[in-house]
């Protein structure tokens, strides 16, 4: 790999899909910037990657704030070099029926899931264009492909991510930059655990029953493992995926058959 191809930035890397993705990239030889809002989480992940023989730096960052993103991009460039692989993984999920929907919730979902991708991608794409090479992969959701009740804000933000992915793929293709999305179903992470608790509370069912309800949405009758998503991201980050751009790859056990 060239110098630019070796540097990856993973947002939301303090836990879940982002943490596993950062570890997979490091194991594959990438120098990895690990970012999230929680300092302890990113330091733990970066330190463990380095202890295993990889190269990683912890860069706390709030991806919803342009100034924080700009500062993080500067730190990463100084520590590792030009970012050639960007993994937009940071995000959040909240639900509410649309009647009486909270405007603040709407804005939070747009900021966490869509505006963040815009800010972070904008902060590094100039370096990719200058290097004439890049990989941009955004972890979206099957909510980017289909609608769902009680998640209007989340669904709208993830549909927006897919639109941005497709627009950038067309605009950046001449610079040898690919732009893709990965769309997981329900993944066995802390975020899904929060959803299970919410379902349990609202439906007056046990946590096991609430989890089983989510598992049944997957034709394989299970939650997706974070590593399954991370390995698709890793594939899209490499040279072997040079011919794949503007795509949304589902990792959902067949929930969305399209």
Sequential pLDDT tens for the chain (258 residues):
677 789 999 999 999 999 999 999 999 999 999 999 999 999 999 999 999 999 999 999 999 999 999 999 999 999 999 999 999 999 998 889 999 999 999 999 999 999 999 999 999 999 999 999 999 999 999 999 999 888 999 999 999 999 999 999 999 999 999 999 999 988 888 788 888 787 888 888 888 888 888 888 889 999 989 999 999 999 999 999 999 999 999 999 998 875
- Cα 216 to Cα 212: distance, rounded to the nearest angstrom: 6
**Does residue 75 share a domain with residue 112?**
yes
pLDDT for residue 228: 96
pTM: 0.93
pLDDT for residue 258: 54
Is residue 201 assigned to a domain? yes
Domain CATH code at residue 119 = 3.40.50.720
Is residue 253 assigned to a domain? no
Is residue 258 assigned to a domain? no
**Does residue 200 share a domain with residue 107?**
no
pLDDT for residue 151: 92
pLDDT for residue 230: 97
By C-alpha distance, which of 154, 151, 142 is closest to 91? 154
Structure-block tokens of residue 53: 């023989």
**Does residue 96 share a domain with residue 214?**
no
What residue numbers bound the domain in which 143 lies?
4-185+225-243
Please give the tally of structural domains in the chain.
2
Which one from 118, 150, 154, 186 is the annotated catalytic residue? 154
Is residue 134 assigned to a domain? yes
Contact 14, 33 (CB under 8 A): no
Please report, for residues 14, 148, 151, 213, the alpha-carbon distance to residue 205 in angstroms, rounded to integers and kept in the order given. Answer: 30, 21, 20, 10
Is 150 annotated in the active site? Answer: no
């Amino acid at each position: 790999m060239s110098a630019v191809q070796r540097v990856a930035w993973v947002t939301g890397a303090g836990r879940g899909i982002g943490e596993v993705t950062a570890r997979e990239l490091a194991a594959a030889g990438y120098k990895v910037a690990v970012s999230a809002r929680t300092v302890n989480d990113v330091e733990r992940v970066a330190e463990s990657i380095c202890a295993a023989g990889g190269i990683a730096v912890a860069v706390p960052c709030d991806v919803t704030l342009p100034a924080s993103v700009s500062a993080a991009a500067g730190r990463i460039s100084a520590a590792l070099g030009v970012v050639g692989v960007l993994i937009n993984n940071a995000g959040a999920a909240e639900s509410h029926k649309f009647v009486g929907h909270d405007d603040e919730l709407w804005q939070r979902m747009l900021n966490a899931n869509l505006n963040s991708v815009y800010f972070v991608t904008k902060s590094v794409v100039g370096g990719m264009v200058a290097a004439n090479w890049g990989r941009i992969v955004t972890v979206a959701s099957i909510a980017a492909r289909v609608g769902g009740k009680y998640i209007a804000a989340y669904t709208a933000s993830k549909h927006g991510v897919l639109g941005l992915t497709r627009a950038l793929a067309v605009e950046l293709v001449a610079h040898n930059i690919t732009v893709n999305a990965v769309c997981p179903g329900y993944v066995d992470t802390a975020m899904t655990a929060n959803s299970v608790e919410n379902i349990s509370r609202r439906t007056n069912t046990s946590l096991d029953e609430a989890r089983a309800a989510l598992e049944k949405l997957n034709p394989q009758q299970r939650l997706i493992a974070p590593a399954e998503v991370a390995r698709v991201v890793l594939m899209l980050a490499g040279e072997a995926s040079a011919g794949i751009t503007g795509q949304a790859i589902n990792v959902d056990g067949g929930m969305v058959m399209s």
